[in-house]
Structure 1
Amino acid sequence: MNKTERQLAITLELQRYKVLRAEDLAAQFETSVRTIYRDIQALSEAGVPIVGAPGQGYSLMEGYFLPPVGFTAEEAVALLMGTDFIEQRLDADYDRVAKTARRKIEAILPEPVRVESTRIRDTMRLLHVGEPFTGLKEKDYLGKTRRAILERRKISFTYLKKIQEPDGNRKSKREADPYGLALIQGNWILIARCGLRQDIRHFRLSRMTELAVLDEHFLLPPGFNLSRYRKPDERNVRVLVRANPDIADKIAETGNYYLENMEERKDGLLVTFRVRQAEELLPYMLGWGRHVEVLEPESFRRMVREEAEKILERY
């Protein structure tokens, strides 16, 4: 980024955030505080009304607004591909917004930039190979939960768990305070405080049915911030597997969330997984078939054998 680009970017940041310290700007643009001082001076001399408050930072004089700026072809591609992603992955409301935004962006682009951005976009596609498709029901639930989050309203739903409870039941009725949504490996996940568990839990929208937004409101916990929130790692069960080295890449690609270590030995590849429940790995073990052997724990080894015997009975 050259000096002119940096000074324009500083003006845009001040317009966006109202007050910023020189130290914050220096960190953002990876330069020195002294350079920021010089940029602020140059902008002031050029007529940009920047006000400095000791101990607070810099701000633009109230009422000043930078005229619309143009986009390079690469910037236009970034924005347009963003609308493609939103159209594919978000609910109907944002689908319409994405289409409108795309038309507006394309309308304001100068002809040479529009032609070049189209040429660049023709060389790239957003594909989600191996990821679940965001279906109509999931998009509908996404819209409902998104609005419930903004309105701070509780929701109720029936949830289908991945693994059966001890009583053999997988379904349970839940009420929850929805805090936020995250797209993880192609799955929309709701982060919410579950009334049944009295704690924060994660729910896949694809496993929900009978979703309803309730009239009752809730309060977000003080200090909760979705961008800083990290789910506690509850993977305390160790699973040890011996595998054929020829499928090391397949194991790394499909089981990467659970994978802890891979060590090549004379008798094969020793793979260590960490899971909450060993059953979570059952589909992977069956998928890798004869190329893997569970060594520990013994209870999981028996589970894989029993499942394989049930499969054999069908054939």
Structure 2
Amino acid sequence: MNKTDRLLAIVLELQRKGTLRAEDLAAIFETSVRTIYRDVQALSEAGVPIVGAPGQGYSLMEGYFLPPLHFSADEAVTLLLGLDFVEQQLDPLYLAKAKASRKKIEAILPQAVQREVEKTRSGMKLLTAQSAADADSRTMLQLLRQAIQEERKVRFLYTKKLPEADGNRQNLRTVAPYGLVFVNGSWGLLGYCELRADIRRFLVKRMRDLTLLDEKAVRPPDFNLQDYTPADDRTMTITVRIAHDVSDKARESRFYYIDAIQDHPDGLLVTLRVRQPEEVLPWVLGWGSKAVVVEPESFRLQVRKEIENMLKHY
């Protein structure tokens, strides 16, 4: 990075993060602290109001904001693809904001850059899921965002994929929401579930009768949504052999429960890690005669019993 680019980048970092020490800036731009001192001096002489506080670092004078920047074609494409995602998957408020942002970005692009952007985007298509979020999901996302911003608990009827020990798949949950996550084409709510007395993730598409409560939701001060990784409780291992002629499809399936794939003379050995075998029973049956359960024996018997039950209908 040359000096001119670095000076601009320093201003952007200070504008984005507020206060940074010379050591922090040196680490970000992979240069010496002495160089940062000289850069800050150059910016000050150029009229950029940088304030230095001993022991704290540098910051921009309150009220200073860098004028709008020009976007390159690649930068504009990146922003517009992000807006494509927002328009497909977020609630009506953000849908409107995305459309307004798109108009502003396109309005400031020079004609030559606009033509390059249009040419690039015509050869790209963003598909974030099998389909865009439906109206009900968008409405719930808007309510959940409101609950997170206002720090309010939510209550909803939740349908699980598999029944509980009592045979029920639905139960009422009261949750202190921590954040929204988008995983494998689906939105989920991460929060503290009072029923389970622990942090849980709930798929938005399985929620019904969502209600915002007046009760305060307190998020732990040390919780960071970006750093959070849920505990992996898939303790059961299942091995399935897939026939050679469909092995490519198995590799491309990106099935959540697949833990390892290994070539084998008789086919493809797929190792699955699950909480309970019912989670992958439909997936195994979906391959028909192309899949054979290697182990455990208990799951082999379960698959056999399911096939016998299926035969009764034919």
1:228 paired with 2:227, answer: yes
Distance 1:37 1:289 in 2: 68
Aligned to 1:127, the other structure's residue is in SS state: coil
Q: Which letter does structure 2 place at the counterpart of 1:287? A: G
Partner of 1:265: 264
After the TM superposition, which of the residue ranges 151-160 and 45-54 deviates more from structure 2? 45-54
In the TM superposition, 1:101-140 aligns within 5 A as: 101-128=101-128, 131=130, 133-140=132-139
Distance 1:128 1:67 in 2: 33
Q: Which letter does structure 1 place at the counterpart of 2:116? A: E
Q: Cα deviation per residue 1:252-307 (whole Å; 9 max; x = unaligned)?
A: 33244322223333333332211111111112101222111112222222222222
In the TM superposition, 1:189-200 aligns within 5 A as: 189-200=188-199
What TM-score, normalized to structure 2? 0.92
**Cα distance change, pair 80–104 in 1 and its aligned pair in 2 (3 A):** same
Distance 1:277 1:37 in 2: 59
Q: Which letter does structure 2 place at the counterpart of 1:168? A: G
Structure 1 stretches of at least 4 aligned residues deviating more than 6 Å after TM superposition? none
8 A Cα contact 1:23 1:33, kept in partner = yes
Partner of 1:98: 98
After the TM superposition, which of the residue ranges 1-10 and 230-239 deviates more from structure 2? 1-10
Distance 1:310 1:169 in 2: 22
Partner of 2:302: 303
Alignment RMSD (CA, Å)? 2.0
Count of residue correspondences? 314
8 A Cα contact 1:252 1:259, kept in partner = no
Aligned to 2:223, the other structure's residue is in SS state: coil
Percent sequence identity is 56
Partner of 1:312: 311
After the TM superposition, which of the residue ranges 135-144 and 72-81 deviates more from structure 2? 72-81
**Cα distance change, pair 263–80 in 1 and its aligned pair in 2 (3 A):** closer
8 A Cα contact 2:260 2:272, kept in partner = yes
Partner of 1:254: 253
What TM-score, normalized to structure 1? 0.92
Distance 2:217 2:62 in 1: 36
Distance 1:152 1:120 in 2: 41
After the TM superposition, which of the residue ranges 93-102 and 109-118 deviates more from structure 2? 109-118
Q: Runs of 5+ in structure 1 lacking a partner?
A: none
Aligned to 2:287, the other structure's residue is in SS state: helix
Distance 2:173 2:257 in 1: 27
8 A Cα contact 1:83 1:98, kept in partner = yes
Q: Cα deviation per residue 1:219-278 (whole Å; 9 max; x = unaligned)?
A: 112211111111111111111222223433322332443222233333333322111111
After the TM superposition, which of the residue ranges 274-283 and 303-312 deviates more from structure 2? 303-312
Partner of 2:25: 25
